[in-house]
Structure 1
Amino acid sequence: MKKWLCAASLGLAMAASAGVQAADKIAVVNLASIFQQLPAREAVAKQLENEFKGRATELQGMERNLQTQMQNLQRDGSTMKASERTKKEQSIMAQREQFSTKAQAFEQDNRRRQAEERNKILSRIQDAVKTVATKEGYDVVIDANAVAYAGSSKDITADVLKQVK
């Protein structure tokens, strides 16, 4: 009797755990594809380009000016007085440092803004994934790039893309 009770409870436990495992509905979504196809991404890229256009133009002008001054120094340096040449070299070095500082600040600001905008878009995509998964009753949604294989019937990429647009 004791063996029968133990076997019955073990069978019941296995059946219950198998039922729980089968209840999980898993879907796959290709986040990279959605991100690439999103029209908002191109609009954000143009917005960032316009936002940093003035500073980029200023940096290009500074770089051209520095190159011109360096070429002039190389060309005319041998005929200049030593004090005049030293003064010119120091001026160029100061301008080069100023250019380097401005270029680093520009790069940092540009990277920071791109990350902010990318995170906004990814947040919208994530919200859309949650909405579609909830609506269709999925318990788990995995990025397609993290899966070796998934059947196309469980792919919700198109639905998420419609939701985000």
Structure 2
Amino acid sequence: MKLRIACFIGAVLMAVSSMASADIKIGFVDLQRIMRESAPAVRASKRLEKEFEGRRQELQKVAAQGKALQQALDKNSMPEADRRARERELVRLNQDFLRMQRELNEDQNARRNEELAGLQERINNAIQQIANTEKYDLILQEAAWNTPKIDITDKVLKALADK
């Protein structure tokens, strides 16, 4: 994938250099930085954190119950019938914990993907607005190297903060 992008960038740069007489304006956006630092990304992250906090706490309670039960079993100071019952309870708790953890991860991933899709659309709209306003011919979102002179990430972050 990166090889294809590098080839595409190389072809674009060769085409750009062959049009030396024409003024071509190129910009670069650090998408990872925008996903970390933009106001909508931070709000989405906090929203997801808050949405799943209760389920994470519930998962921690089940883990603590399992740990307490395991410690009780390790003491070896109970009758054999009680020991077997507690071992079965520990197996059930472990299964519940693994199921709850799997479901939480799946739900978190699904919600994160929903949030990222909306965020990606907002980012693309902000980039397109800047490109149209400032008459950019090409804006790259991925590059092996770029100069700060063409980096417009701060402009995109500002545009996203205004919304």
Question: Which bracket does the TM-score occupy, shorter chain normalised?
Answer: 0.7 to 0.9
Q: Which runs of 5+ in 1 are unaligned?
A: 1-17
Structure 2 equivalent of residue 98 of structure 1 = 96
Once superposed, which parts of structure 1, at least 4 consecutive aligned residues long, lie more than 4 Å away?
18-21
SS at match of 1:48: helix
Distance 2:84 2:148 in 1: 72
Q: Is the 8 A contact 2:24 2:137 kept in 1?
A: yes
Q: Which runs of 5+ in 2 are unaligned?
A: 1-17
Structure 2 equivalent of residue 122 of structure 1 = 120
Structure 2 equivalent of residue 161 of structure 1 = 157
Select the structure of larger CA radius of gyration: 1
Calculate percent identity across the aligned residue pairs: 28
SS at match of 2:140: strand
Distance 1:161 1:59 in 2: 36
Distance 1:129 1:105 in 2: 36
Q: Which moved more, 1:96-105 or 1:39-48?
A: 39-48
Q: Is the 8 A contact 2:127 2:156 kept in 1?
A: yes
Q: Paired residue for 1:148, among 132, 145, 149?
A: 145
Shift of 1:131: 1.0
Distance 1:72 1:56 in 2: 24
Distance 2:152 2:103 in 1: 41
1:68-120, Cα deviation, whole Å (9 max, x unpaired): 11111111x35412x33222211211111111111111111112212221232
1:38-70, Cα deviation, whole Å (9 max, x unpaired): 122222222112111111111111111111111
- 2:125 partner letter: D
Structure ranking higher in helix proportion: 1
Q: 1:149 to 1:41 in 2, by over 3 A?
A: closer
Structure 2 equivalent of residue 88 of structure 1 = 86
Root mean square deviation, CA, Å: 2.4
Q: 1:135 to 1:96 in 2, by over 3 A?
A: same
SS at match of 1:141: strand
- 2:104 partner letter: F
